[in-house]
Amino acid sequence: MPDHSAPSRTLLLILVALTALGEISTQLIIPSLGLIERVLAAQPGSAILALSAFVAAFGLGQLLLGPLSDRIGRRPVLIAGLSLYLLASLWMLLAGSIGEFIAARVLQGLGACAALVLARAIVRDVWQAQAGPALALTVIGMLSAIAVAPMIGGLLTAHAGWQAPILLALLIGCGALLAVLGLYRESNCHLDPAAGQLRSLAGNYADLLKSRSFQALALTLACTYGAMFAVIAGSSAVYIGLLGLSAAQYGMTFGAIVSGLIGGALFTQRMILRLGPEKIVAIGVALVLAGAIATLAIHQLFGLSLLGLSVPQVLVTLGGGMLLPAAVAGAVIPNAQRAGLAAGFMGFAQMAGATCSGLLLGMLQDGTAGPMVIVHGGFAMAAFGAFHLRRPRPVASAVLAR
């Protein structure tokens, strides 16, 4: 078992896998959605509900599971969540209708959200005031899953059918559960008997949100992820349907853009202790806004083009890669006694931004790239405004030293 006084690389690898589990679960099955609809005799487009249901469960579950782990410990909540994830994945494999499949995805989302929120809380428990670089590394794992999992899922679907990507997710979940059972012991040494109780939960969140710094970081994270999700959700139709790329060309283009996320997260991992989380968030949100404005301006002035859309997006993903881990670190590190509560709300904020962005994009769809570019730019502007209007206090010297 790892010695939490000297964090091990093995523990960090486990936490990276746990953080990536939600993205793995979603990105693996995206290439097989059409086939799932045909096999389950569902209406075209109905499998998209499975993605939305997962995101909703993934976001809302963190509000409860994070603070519950402050009360009873990280390990029991994590084991229960991973067990639910495995049962739900098995149900997906055996589903006989699209309704069953969607219901199973809801449960899978609840299980996967336990992995994410508990991984972030465990990083705070173990690395304490030095948690920033470790949080950045876990985010790199999540971003790598976004880049790689769709390609793996497409290959598995083409050669082994729609169940193969789900089976792979099931096997990854099994490995994560076995690793937790064998290699992780409880890291929350200060259980709070009052945490996680429904009658006090709203008050606890209200108390957490009294901090202007926490407000700014949560809003900035939500709006930034909303900006990025608009492109993630709309890019396939634009690149393939409007720009005429093949699925393989789209995959390579998308991978090149997502590499900016990984580069940004690596920058945060190296510089967060020197600059502090909020300084990095300030840099990241400025890059996101610059890339979004450039995307919008090029589209309005010159029309849709491959380079005009893709090149500015590297700025967005670079800034987003900096911002995501830094915002979480800035919110969680100052809240040592309620790390689960803070991590849960930040995860909820991230998924809330994606949900609002996706709903707005769906309402505005008109067969062009305009709605995607406009929603993307609007959320980027909101992120920049939210951060600077709240004027969060620096935490690098005052709070991280606690």
Per-residue pLDDT tens over the stretch 27-67: 888 777 778 888 888 887 677 677 778 888 888 888 888 88
Distance CA(80)–CA(84), nearest Å, equals 6
Residue 48 burial (CB < 10 Å; 0-12/13-18/19+)?
middle
Q: Where in the chain are the domains?
A: 8-186, 207-392
Residue 162 — pLDDT band, cuts 50, 70, 90? Answer: confident
Distance CA(154)–CA(170), nearest Å, equals 17
How large is the C-alpha radius of gyration of the chain?
20
Domain 8-186 of CATH type 1.20.1250.20: yes
Q: For all residues of the chain together, what is the average pLDDT? A: 85
Mean of the pLDDT values across residues 332-342?
78
pLDDT at position 56 is: 82
Mean of the pLDDT values across residues 166-190?
92
With beta carbons less than 8 A apart as the criterion, state whether 51 and 362 touch.
Answer: no
Distance CA(360)–CA(401), nearest Å, equals 41
Mean of the pLDDT values across residues 153-174?
89
pLDDT at position 292 is: 97
Domain 207-392 of CATH type 3.50.50.60: no
128-160: pLDDT as tens digits: 767 778 877 887 888 788 778 877 887 888 788
pLDDT at position 220 is: 96
pLDDT at position 33 is: 74
Mean of the pLDDT values across residues 330-348?
81
Residue 396 — pLDDT band, cuts 50, 70, 90? Answer: very low
Q: Between these two residues, 84 and 46, which has the higher pLDDT value?
A: 84
Distances (CA, A) of 316 to 95, 168, 181, 223, 303: 38, 31, 38, 13, 19
Distance CA(72)–CA(111), nearest Å, equals 17
199-231: pLDDT as tens digits: 677 777 888 888 888 999 999 999 999 999 888
Distance CA(275)–CA(282), nearest Å, equals 11
- Whether 1 shows a pLDDT value over 50: the answer reads no
Q: Between these two residues, 235 and 96, which has the higher pLDDT value?
A: 96
pLDDT at position 101 is: 92
Give percent above pLDDT 90 in the chain: 37
Give percent above pLDDT 70 in the chain: 91
Residue 248 — pLDDT band, cuts 50, 70, 90? Answer: low
Residue 281 — pLDDT band, cuts 50, 70, 90? Answer: very high
- Whether 256 shows a pLDDT value over 70: the answer reads yes
Distance CA(111)–CA(102), nearest Å, equals 14
Distance CA(101)–CA(386), nearest Å, equals 38
| Domain 8-186 identical in fold to domain 207-392 | yes
pLDDT at position 199 is: 67
- Whether 236 shows a pLDDT value over 80: the answer reads no
Burial profile 95-110: b = 16 or more Cβ within 10 angstroms, e = fewer: beebeebbbbbbbbbb
Closest among 309, 320, 317, 152 to 245, alpha carbons compared: 309
